[in-house]
Amino acid sequence: MQEAVRNYLKDVSSTPTSGTQSLAASTNRSALAAASNPGAIPSPAGPEVVTLGAGCFWCSQAVFEQIPGVVSVTAGYMGGTAPNPTYEQVSTGATGYAEVSRIVYDPTRTDLGKLLAVFWKMHDPTSLNRQGADVGPQYRSVIFYQTEAQREAAERSKAAAARQFAMPIVTEITPAGPFYPAENYHQEYYRLNKNRNPYCRAVIAPKLEKLGLQE
């Protein structure tokens, strides 16, 4: 986000702390990744997981937590290599991490195709390393998949979505790596700050309205 707005939240939020919750691993790969990166959260068994980057994670969390079948949405970081990244580090654009939302969903109530249909609508997937005034590789459009089936579904969805845009889609489709939850003050940011931070009214609220979701 614009730095003035980002600095604003520090004045109205508690001191950031790293997330420490853990979930059971659903694959050996995610379990091993988490073991080598203690701050990371492995994928849960049962519900399925996909991690999406669509610009500011305040926006994507506010959108996806309202989608039927979604169990939980956590704002965080994925795509870099250094363990336990902080917001300040990611904001430099030099870490390789993207701001993402980790979406846990019930496959008996929704599926990846439906979630990606929302994903394509909620941001501009033809914009490289930028969403509006949020500029940098940390705001890139990216789908981090957990399984080969998810990769195939993401590729099909991307090909179908491409027909809706005049410019080429630049969204990356890449294997998920360790996920690090963002600091506590980033979680549920829109719900807690929509009447205090002008970014919420100017950027997030219009996305929700466009998708027919509650503000």
Is 56 marked active-site?
Answer: yes
From CA 64, how far away is CA 120, in angstroms rounded?
A: 12
The one catalytic residue in 56, 90, 118, 154 is 56
DSSP assignment string, 75-111: EEEES-SSSS--HHHHTTT-S--EEEEEEEE-TTT--
Residue with tokens 């659903």: 26
Residues 6+ apart with CB under 8 A from 214: 66, 208
Catalytic residues: 56
